[in-house]
Amino acid sequence: MIVYLDLIFLTNFLIDGVLLYATARARKIRFAWWRLLLATGIGASYVVFMFIPEMSFLFTFLLKFCFALGMLAVAFGFPSLQHFLRNLGMFYAINFAVAGAILGINYFLESSSEVLDGIVIGQTGVDHHTISFTFTAVAVLLLPGLWIFRNVFKSAKKREEVTAFMAEVRIEIGQAETSCTGLIDTGNQLYDPLTRTPVMIMEASQWKEYIPESWMNRIREAEVDQIISGIGSEDSQDTFVWQDRLRLVPYRGINKATQFMLAIKPDRVVITHNEKQIESPKVLIGLDGGKLSSDNSYQAIIHPMLMQS
């Protein structure tokens, strides 16, 4: 028997690529093509190990599951456990749906075969695969499958509703420019109390190339007032290229205590929503030290007043 490993690899590469791409589309995940192709290559290489006797230990449920986890982590990253588990559920839901379709098509096309005690027998007399389902087996397999489909697609529907309030944000400060996804939040009523300028909240990590590390630590610890008080002092050795653009915006935290947020005055902010571009000349960019979204679906919170500019 001649085995063409290159054809087997390419076939599985195509199948795994389609499954990962379908997962990304169903979950509305923004991904990098090179990461998707790398994950697809990892999945396709697994089948090649079938023909290496020394690698037979890889063909266990646990290691197959670990390969699937590795593929998803490489393709879409690991922003949070909840986000990763949702990706995993969607990936297996699509796998089960495709596998069921293939099995059904194969059953209808096997017109010349006979089914004897749950075994499909072809013209050559060789059994293709065993199909022996009882009511208990169907219930055991069907109920978890329905639960996965219900929860995964319910999560996808919620994500689609949130996506309607997403917009692309481009910010220019001097010669620097960055782009990210923002969430239009009607509950965001943060203004600079002196100038009544609306504040768009943004993850400080989007500007980590320009912000000193010691400042980033102060932002994460909500000690930004010490940054302002330390500028120009003899003990301060950190310099910031946009020091003249800094503002200190007060706001009330979760514990109702007054806190301060470090903000930057940009040169230009362009928001793209529903193929419409809105330029906001009067806005401050408030820097948040954490993650605004647990699944990294957005990196900024857009003030609703900016959509009326």
Are residues 145 and 22 located together in one domain of the fold?
yes
Are residues 26 and 136 located together in one domain of the fold?
yes
Are residues 73 and 170 located together in one domain of the fold?
no
Instruction: Quick: pLDDT tens for 159-174.
Output: 655 566 888 999 998 8
Structural domain including 132 reads 5-163
CA dist 26 and 91 (Å) reads: 9
When divided into structural domains, the chain yields a total of 2
Task: Judge whether residue 139 has pLDDT over 80.
Answer: no
DSSP codes joined into one string, 68-122: HHHHHHHHH--S-HHHHHHHHHHHHHHHHHHHHHHHHHHHHH-TT-EEETTEEE-
CA quadruple 190, 193, 197, 201: dihedral positive or negative?
negative
**pLDDT level of residue 284 (50, 70, 90 thresholds):** very high
- Which of 55-59, 130-134, 213-217, 240-244 is least confident? 130-134
Task: Judge whether residue 135 has pLDDT over 50.
Answer: no
Are residues 260 and 302 located together in one domain of the fold?
yes
Q: Which of 112, 137, 163 is the last residue of a domain?
A: 163
Integer CA distances (angstroms), 303 to 67, 113, 156, 215, 300, in order: 42, 65, 25, 25, 10
Amino acid sitting at position 289: G
Name which residue leads in pLDDT, 139 or 268: 268
Here the tokens at position 196 are 């009544």
Instruction: Quick: pLDDT tens for 227-276.
Output: 776 665 544 445 567 778 888 888 876 655 678 888 899 998 999 888 88
Are residues 34 and 137 located together in one domain of the fold?
yes
Q: Which of 143, 163, 183 is the last residue of a domain?
A: 163
Are residues 173 and 297 located together in one domain of the fold?
yes
Are residues 129 and 175 located together in one domain of the fold?
no
So which residues are the catalytic ones?
185
CA dist 95 and 118 (Å) reads: 23
Here the tokens at position 205 are 């990590």
Instruction: Give this prediction's pTM.
Output: 0.53
Are residues 218 and 276 located together in one domain of the fold?
yes
Are residues 19 and 154 located together in one domain of the fold?
yes
β-sheet with 300-302: strand ranges across: 246-252, 258-264, 284-288, 199-203, 300-302, 176-184, 166-173, 268-273, 276-279
